[in-house]
A and B are shown apart, each in its own frame.
Chain A
Amino acid sequence: MERIGKLVLMALLLSVALVLHYIESFFPPLAPGAKLGLANIITITSLHLLGFKESMAIVLMRSVLGPILGGSPTGILFSLAGGTLSCIVMSLLYYRFRRHFSLPGISVAGAVFHNIGQMLMASLIYGSIGILFTYLPILMLASVFTGNFIGLASKYIIKFLSSKAVNARIG
């Protein structure tokens, strides 16, 4: 892929991720602190379309810009911790162990580590590891549902983007 094409694609994915991140804030949370993680669709899609470095760049920018656009800059640290950890885990599974994992499985793992990252950061900031232990069980249960949903959504998006008609356009 041409450099300029890659740049455009990254910018496009980032803006979609930001919009999804923003739209998500209108949904009521499934459980305290649990969210759908719609922006994760973009992380998985970019892992497929681009690569680890590019996906990481998108995640980092989304984690910083998302909370600012959403009006809560304090969320940047949580977002960064969760986003980077989940991106690292998902790319590891996607590029190294793709044969053994389905896309929803990778997505669930990503959701799990997103929550772990966030809760570790919260524990660090508030100085009590108890926060991690208190919220983790309910967040893990939520991750199973949201992760599968996001994984399936990504699967169809990737399938669509890989089809010939679309490929000819974004080639």
Chain B
Amino acid sequence: MIPKIPLKFGDVLVYVFILILIGGSFAGLHYMGKGSLNNQVAVEVNGTLWGTYDIPAGSEVKELRIEDEEGNYNVVVITSEGTYIEEANCPDQICVNWGKINRPGQTIVCLPHRLVISIIGNQGGDPPLDDIPS
């Protein structure tokens, strides 16, 4: 026997409201993603900062070639849609298959080449979660 769930009309409204809020949040994020050109891309090699780069506006494409003295290289492409590694001669190719990153805090890591690409927001990164207690 299936127990009867005492769901009333108002409860359904609450759940509909929740769905709308979730949809609205994703829409808001999507909309903001287009506008957040103030973010920057930081490139770290071997633990030291290689450089930070602005994200170009529109359909402009910025390409960086990061190569060390041993011939290890990664080609990083920065567009307003997202940042990704187009090509690399690392053995595992994980960084190439990583896909695009476009939000502050996201990173691409190429372990064999000790390379870390991360998006840094104009707020200086996300606030620590522990600061939001109930």
Contacts and interface: CB of A to CB of B under 8 A. Distances in A.
Interface of A: 21, 24-25, 32-33, 35, 37, 39, 67, 70, 72, 74-75, 78-79, 82, 93, 97, 100-102, 104-105, 108-109, 112, 114, 116, 118, 122, 126-134, 136-137, 140-141, 143-144
Interface stretch (B19-27, B63-71, B91-99): B19-27
Interface stretch (B49-57, B72-80, B123-131): B123-131
Contacts of B32: 129-130, 133
9 contacts: A79-B134, A108-B18, A109-B14, A122-B127, A128-B121, A130-B36, A132-B28, A133-B25, A143-B18
A37 B133 CA distance: 10
Given A127-B123, A134-B29, A118 B22 contact: no
B134 A82 contact: yes
Interface residues of B, number: 27
Contacts of A132: 25, 28
A50 B32 CA distance: 44
A101 B133 contact: no
A140 B133 CA distance: 16
B7 A102 contact: yes
A145 to B, nearest CB: 12
Contacts of B133: 25, 35, 67, 70, 72, 75, 78-79
A33 B129 contact: yes
